[in-house]
Amino acid sequence: MTKSSKNLLGRFLFQDKGILPTGKLLITCLLLSGLLLVGTFFGLSWTQIFILNGLFIALSLLDLLVSPFKREVDVERSIPDQMERGLEYVVELKIRNTSSRGMVFRIMDGIPQSFQTSFPLTGKVAPDSAITMSYDVVTPVRGDYELTKLYLRYRSSLGLWEKQKTVQLHDKVKVIPDLTETKKVMEDAQQFLLYEGVKIRRQQSGAGEFSKIRNYVLGDDPRKINWRQTAKLREVMTNEYEPEHGKYITILIDCGRMMGMELKNGNRLERSLEAALTVTAAALQNGDYVSVLAFSKDVKVYIPPAKGMAHLQTILHRMYHLEVDAAESNYAAILHYVQTIQKKRSLLLLFSDVHTFLHEDSALFYLQRLRKQHLFLTIGIEDETLVTRMKTPPVDVQQAMMKSMAQKQMLVKKREKAKWEKQGLLMVEAREEKLAATAVSYYIDLMNRGLL
């Protein structure tokens, strides 16, 4: 296909630039041809036919003169430079007409194919004026995107010819993970967990750092009553303790092949990233040091430990573009790497596929060594298909076989988990919508119990 033919094809596909006939022009041309054909039966000469066709062409070309010139039409785009995955955002387009002639337009934005929206947008602009239109867009895939073009078609009130203009607009958009649950934790971790159906357990009596003195309420430990303040205020006052701050949390995110399994909302890696950011927000808000390591067969991203809410932005901008690799995860090499870089005692929080991790016997040696210094917790997403098969009633032979195989796989998984947990390695599975709440709940529970 030659360059000229590509330009012509792009012109008809709402791309490139040029002038195109409208449906009204084609219909009018067909009607005129039909009338001229009938006229030949009533003595209409060829000279008259050529004159009438010439007048029609001149009239149609007059339509181009009463429509604005391309230099008199401009478009501006206003789009957020950062969007969260799966959420709806509004993009505004400002169409400006500086000519003395009005126009009717259709417009399409040159957004990436993964963006979900509806086009084209239609409207009308009066002479020497501007209007603002908007459309909703959903970005289901994380990453960096660049929007460079916008396609505009407009015509006059006659509507016989349509001019097409390609506007060069350069906007960069960064699609990051969904931070809805992270924001809830930052507002109130306890309310977030209660909303998800999980309650933070009470910490051990007298454990942690002194926080404040408050009124005694029913259920408080009498041993924590502050008798000095009670005598001074003539009200029963009690001491309140909170977990010690400044602990080290190391979050490990598996980006191997099994993390690409599709779920109701994204895949396992998407949900793990969102849960990891939620735990990170909770830990940083609690004054702990957080480091993040993403891996598959090799280390993809490593972020050294730091504290403070500003560190959350550092982690977010280093992790938002992570993708699933086609290779299997090398747990043994990654755990050995963790052992070399993390010298201080910390909570190792691994987001991975528990079923795959259970069969990595090569990683058990490194985990046993890490367990002597660190606290290890693996969190994964439960296999919804396996759970559904286990609950399916055996109405026929095929369903009975499928249910028995699902039960067998579950028994094998429980047996392997028990073997690893005997080594002091805790493993948890949660539903995809409960993953973030479960991870935060276990983190807070381990901190409150003073196990770190």
Specify the higher pLDDT residue, 130 or 363.
Answer: 130
Whether residues 9 and 123 share a domain: the answer is yes
Q: How confident is the model at residue 89 (pLDDT cuts 50, 70, 90)?
A: very high
pTM: 0.77
Whether residues 266 and 152 share a domain: the answer is no
Whether residues 40 and 141 share a domain: the answer is yes
Whether residues 322 and 420 share a domain: the answer is yes
CATH code at position 314:
3.40.50.410
Whether residues 169 and 259 share a domain: the answer is no
Predicted local confidence at residue 269, as pLDDT? 93
Whether residues 412 and 269 share a domain: the answer is yes
Residue 334 lies in a domain: yes
Whether residues 124 and 249 share a domain: the answer is no
Whether residues 266 and 169 share a domain: the answer is no
Tens-place pLDDT, residues 385-399: 888 888 888 888 888
Q: Once rounded to an integer, what is the mean pLDDT over residues 147-158?
A: 87
Residue 220 lies in a domain: no
Question: Per the structure, how many domains does the chain have?
Answer: 2
Residue 135 lies in a domain: yes
SS (H, E, C) the chain: CCHHHHHHHHHHCCCCCEEEECHHHHHHHHHHHHHHHHHHCCCCCHHHHHHHHHHHHHHHHHHHHCCCCHHHEEEEEECCCEEECCCEEEEEEEEEECCCCCEEEEEEECCCCCCECCCCEEEEECCCEEEEEEEEEECCCCEEEEEEEEEEEEECCCCCEEEEEEEEEEEEEEEECCCHHHHHHHHCHHHHHHHCCCCCCCCCCCCCEEEEEEECCCCCCHHHECHHHHHHHCCCEEEEEECCCCCEEEEEEECCHHHHCECCCCEHHHHHHHHHHHHHHHHHHCCCEEEEEEECCCEEEEEEEECCCHHHHHHHHHHCCCCCCCCCCCHHHHHHHHHHHCCCCEEEEEECCHHHHHCCHHHHHHHHHHHCCCEEEEEEECCHHHHHHHHCCCCCHHHHHHHHHHHHHHHHHHHHHHHHHCCCCEEEEECHHHHHHHHHHHHHHHHHCCCC
Whether residues 279 and 417 share a domain: the answer is yes
Residue 424 lies in a domain: yes
Give the range of the structural domain holding residue 16, as residue numbers without chain letter: 1-176
CATH code at position 139:
2.60.40.10
Residue 197 lies in a domain: no
Q: Is the pLDDT of residue 327 over 70?
A: yes
Residue 129 lies in a domain: yes
Predicted local confidence at residue 191, as pLDDT? 63
Whether residues 48 and 155 share a domain: the answer is yes
Q: Once rounded to an integer, what is the mean pLDDT over residues 345-371?
A: 82
**Lowest pLDDT segment from 131-140, 181-190, 349-358, 440-449:** 181-190
Tens-place pLDDT, residues 241-267: 765 667 899 999 999 998 988 888 889
Residue 82 lies in a domain: yes
- Of 118, 152, 176, which residue sits at a domain end? 176
Predicted local confidence at residue 205, as pLDDT? 47
Q: Is the pLDDT of residue 179 over 80?
A: yes
Tens-place pLDDT, residues 14-73: 666 778 888 888 888 888 778 877 877 777 777 877 888 888 888 878 878 888 888 899
Predicted local confidence at residue 110, as pLDDT? 87
Tens-place pLDDT, residues 189-212: 666 665 444 444 444 444 556 667
Predicted local confidence at residue 277, as pLDDT? 94
Residue 203 lies in a domain: no
**Lowest pLDDT segment from 54-63, 148-157, 322-331:** 54-63
Whether residues 89 and 170 share a domain: the answer is yes
Whether residues 266 and 154 share a domain: the answer is no
Q: Is the pLDDT of residue 238 over 60?
A: yes
Please answer whether residues 209 and 239 qualify as being in contact, where contact means their C-beta atoms are separated by less than 8 angstroms: no
> Ramachandran region of residue 235, left (φ > 0), alpha (ψ -120 to 50) or beta?
beta
